[in-house]
């Protein structure tokens, strides 16, 4: 299939940390231009997560797509009531992460929706949101 173009390679070489390159081929290109694309990006407040959000916003802006930033958190168990309990420091951190996502969207001129899932495994929450939101408009690319 070949490698990346010289320009993409140059940009990638100058980027520290995780990097994702998304490429559409064949009918995907036509389908992408006919429908409003949606991008799902899990967030957790780490530097890698922040970079992923920035990349999602850049891609969204250039493709008139909408980003959904999904924050998954687990509460602590209250031993007497057997119900999850979340501390105010945790809640403030969650809100700060989602606020930063929104501010980044404003900076990049992208559209964003934030969502939070509580007391579920991150991988389960991400897969459920991906299926529910139909984030893959070109077919079922969900891992099995």
| Residue 53 or 137, more confident | 53
| Residue 20 belongs to a domain | no
> In total, how many domains does the chain have?
1
Residue 60 lies in a domain: yes
Query: Mean pLDDT score of the chain, rounded to an integer?
Result: 76
Structure confidence at residue 133 (pLDDT): 86
Model confidence band, residue 75 (pLDDT cutoffs 50, 70, 90)? low
| Three-state SS at 110 | coil
| Residue 41 counted as domain residue | yes
Q: Residue 105's domain is classified under what CATH number?
A: 3.40.50.620
| Least confident stretch, 11-20, 93-102, 108-117, 132-141 | 132-141
Does 73 fall in a domain?
yes
Residue 5 lies in a domain: no
Assess if residue 1 is contained within a domain.
no
The answer to whether residue 37 sits within a structural domain is yes
Q: Cβ of 41: how many Cβ atoms within 10 Å?
A: 21
């Amino acid at each position: 299939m070949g490698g990346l173009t010289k320009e993409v390679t140059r940009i990638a070489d100058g980027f520290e940390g995780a990097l994702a390159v998304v490429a559409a081929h064949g009918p995907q290109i036509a389908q992408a231009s006919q429908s409003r694309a949606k991008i799902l990006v899990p967030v957790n407040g780490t530097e890698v997560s922040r970079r992923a959000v920035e990349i999602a916003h850049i891609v969204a802006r250039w493709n008139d797509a909408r980003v959904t930033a999904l924050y998954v958190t687990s509460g602590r168990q209250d031993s007497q009531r057997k119900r999850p309990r979340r501390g105010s420091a945790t809640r403030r951190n969650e809100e700060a992460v989602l606020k930063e996502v929104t501010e980044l969207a404003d900076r990049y001129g992208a559209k964003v929706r934030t969502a939070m899932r509580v007391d579920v495994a991150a991988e389960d929450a991400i897969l459920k949101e991906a299926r529910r939101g139909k984030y893959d408009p070109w077919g079922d690319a969900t891992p099995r």
